[in-house]
Amino acid sequence: MKIKKAVFPVAGLGTRFIPATKAMAKEMLPVVDKPIIQYAVEEAFAAGIEQIIFVTGRGKKALEDHFDRSYEIEHVLKQKGKTDLLMQIQELVPKTGTIIYTRQHEPLGLGHAIWCARDIVGDEPFAVLLADDLIQTDKPILSEMVKIFDRLRASMAAVMEIEKDQTDKYGILDAQELEKNIFKINDMVEKPSPDKAPSNLAIVGRYILTPKIFEYLGKKEKGAGGEIQLTDAMKTLLKEQPIYGYKFNGQRFDCGDKVGFQMANLAFALERPDMRDRLIKFIKKIQKDF
């Protein structure tokens, strides 16, 4: 079965970015000139996803408006002859029915947010993208994962190697490499201390899951941080179905962290020919002060 649906858990309050997120969804914070969420949505569409499911909460109206028509702005751009900008904002709006919104009424964790989309996803495999994980790579990760799923027909997660002292920030795998960059997962632990971590192979925010996961998420068993953890449900799923890890080539930026967010802005700006030279000149200049 083709992967047609993607779930985006976007109900978080973004408290680490207050005051910027006091009246603005954190997913709308811009990396260069696009909101964080737009990068993830574009990645999903590039992978052949046909339906986007946003699991939202209060204060997300700006996100909903971003993927809707803005007739006032379109009218002004048309009058001023700014056709390139007009095309950009018109292309943001997908066909009717492509984007669906549902609510997570309680902040019970990532696993609960995904469970909230169960009736929309139905009985078919689906993708999950965490917009905070912005990944700079030549090959969009989800597209590569869809290709692997077509062959293996099993749940999987994107993974990367991390520093050993950072394991308490991630879901960590006990896994063996089956072929280049593809791992068979034996076990997974949510945010273990470095001395208890089975490896330094960590899950990052891209998943393809079979619908069986909803059965375990629906039990609403709380794990690390008192929240319903996706990693815990996947660990239980392992007893019935295989799960694989895909180790991608690229740079991941944690845009839920202030430093990671600034690093993403710099890295993506340096990719832009219209910005690169001026930025490099500025970086060299301020380096003298450190």
Write out pLDDT tens, residues 126-169. Answer: 999 999 999 999 889 999 999 999 999 999 999 999 999 999 98
Average pLDDT over all residues of the chain:
91
Mean pLDDT value across residues 232-252: 94
> For residue 261, what pLDDT is reported?
96
Tokens of 211: 């619908």
DSSP three-state, residue 251: strand
The pLDDT confidence band at residue 97, using thresholds 50, 70 and 90, is: low
Residues 6+ apart with CB under 8 A from 252: 133, 134, 135, 136, 160, 204
**Main-chain dihedrals φ then ψ at residue 60, nearest 5 degrees:** -110, 20
> For residue 255, what pLDDT is reported?
94
Pairing of strands 155-161, 126-129: unpaired
The rounded distance, in Å, linking the Cα atoms of 33 and 55 is 24
> For residue 57, what pLDDT is reported?
85
The rounded distance, in Å, linking the Cα atoms of 80 and 75 is 9
The rounded distance, in Å, linking the Cα atoms of 226 and 243 is 25
Q: Report pTM.
A: 0.91
**Main-chain dihedrals φ then ψ at residue 142, nearest 5 degrees:** -65, -35
Q: What angle do CA 194, 197, 200 make, to 5 degrees?
A: 85
Q: Are 66 and 92 in contact (CB under 8 A)?
A: yes
Residue 224 has pLDDT above 80, yes or no: no
Q: Are 50 and 95 in contact (CB under 8 A)?
A: no
Q: Worst-scoring range by mean pLDDT, 42-56, 59-73, 163-177, 205-219?
A: 59-73
Domain 5-257, CATH number (from 3.90.550.10, 3.40.50.150, 3.20.20.10, 3.40.630.10): 3.90.550.10
- Of 19, 218, 236, nearest in space to 112 by CA: 218
The rounded distance, in Å, linking the Cα atoms of 9 and 63 is 12
Whether residue 107 is preceded by a cis peptide bond, meaning omega within 30 degrees of 0, is no
Residue 85 has pLDDT above 90, yes or no: no
Distances in whole angstroms, Cα of residue 29 to Cα of each of 49, 102, 127, 135, 188: 24, 21, 23, 16, 32
The rounded distance, in Å, linking the Cα atoms of 248 and 277 is 29
- Of 143, 133, 145, nearest in space to 208 by CA: 145
